[in-house]
Amino acid sequence: MIAYGRWQPFVDADPIRQHVQMLRSYGLGVARIRELSGTGSSVTRLLYGMHGRPPSMQVRAKTADRITAVRPRLELAKPSALVDGTGTRRRLRALLVVGWHQAEQAARSGLDRKTVNDQTRGVTLVTFASTALAVRDLYDRLWDVDPASQGVAERWITDARSFAARRRWAPPAAWDDAYIDSPSAVPDLGEKVSAYAALSEDALWLITEQGYTRELAAHRLGITSRHLERALTWARLEEQEKAA
């Protein structure tokens, strides 16, 4: 590379600095990023400078590779680290839409009721990483589960749905898993919901008339099994609301 004049031992520090700031928004402190990337004091120099010198303008390519290899995951954050609460808030609200009362959410997540209430109402815009993980796990377990099938009383289901409806909160079907944590994302309450209804009809025809399993139906429709489950769940909830 040196012979061909292509060797670049240093790269622009700005994109690497932005990556570090993004990691910090996930609750990873400077010390934790240094530990995960194995870059020593480079992260400190990158952000603040050292020994009277300003923040780095360039960084070694090897150091940049190590830092950018650290991907933002809640599992990497310390349980007590504060992280953005957007995804937590959206998940709790979406569960209310499908009938999971806040008391049930608290009991099934291991969180206290006040934490669930405060996060749902947006009293605070941040949350502990441990809370975000607990809510994410809860959501993954319950977003497509009918509360009535789990012994939840009908009045609590109705109360939860009414509470969410009055505030026009978005259901799970309106959120894409890849973007539910992004503050800039918005729920798709129009075309996606209609698409889910149409998708559900096609899938049910394949399952009931053609003898397809759900997995095969999803494959035939060119979607994932998880996507299909969301469509079927949304269609079922719509029918329940019409019947009510």
Question: Which comes out higher in pLDDT, residue 193 or 169?
Answer: 169
Under a CB-based contact definition with an 8 Å cutoff, are residues 134 and 109 in contact? yes
- Cα(193)–Cα(191) distance, rounded to whole angstroms? 5
Nearest-CA neighbor of 146 among 99, 93, 109? 99
Percent of the chain with pLDDT over 70: 89
- Cα(12)–Cα(56) distance, rounded to whole angstroms? 9
Given a cut of 50, is residue 2 above it in pLDDT? no
- Cα(61)–Cα(53) distance, rounded to whole angstroms? 20
Beta-bridge partners for 37: none
Helix (H) or strand (E) holding 76: none
pLDDT on residue 191: 55
Given a cut of 80, is residue 239 above it in pLDDT? no
- Cα(107)–Cα(217) distance, rounded to whole angstroms? 35
Q: pLDDT tens digits for 191-238?
A: 555 567 767 877 888 788 777 778 777 776 767 777 788 778 877 777
**Token representation of residue 116:** 């669930």
170 three-class SS:
coil
| Range with lowest mean pLDDT among 33-42, 146-155, 213-222 | 213-222
pLDDT on residue 130: 94
pLDDT on residue 135: 97
Domain ranges of the chain: 10-74, 78-187, 190-244
| Range with lowest mean pLDDT among 85-89, 154-158, 185-189, 239-243 | 239-243
Beta-bridge partners for 60: 10
What is the average per-residue pLDDT within 17-34?
A: 83
pLDDT on residue 137: 96
Q: Rounded to whole angstroms, what are the CA distances from 86 to 89, 123, 140, 172, 202? A: 5, 12, 16, 14, 33
The amino acid at 93: R
- Cα(187)–Cα(169) distance, rounded to whole angstroms? 9
What is the average per-residue pLDDT within 64-76?
A: 84
Under a CB-based contact definition with an 8 Å cutoff, are residues 77 and 24 in contact? no
Given a cut of 70, is residue 170 above it in pLDDT? yes
pLDDT on residue 99: 95
Q: In the chain, count H helices and then E strands.
A: 12, 4
Q: Rounded to whole angstroms, what are the CA distances from 192 to 97, 98, 114, 171? A: 16, 17, 33, 11
pLDDT on residue 89: 95
Across 70-79, 135-144, 186-195, 201-210, the highest mean pLDDT is recorded for: 135-144
pTM value is 0.62
Given a cut of 90, is residue 162 above it in pLDDT? yes
Under a CB-based contact definition with an 8 Å cutoff, are residues 88 and 135 in contact? yes
Angle subtended at Cα 213 by Cα 175 and Cα 226, rounded to the nearest 5 degrees: 15
Nearest-CA neighbor of 13 among 47, 60, 54, 59? 59
Question: Which comes out higher in pLDDT, residue 19 or 3?
Answer: 19
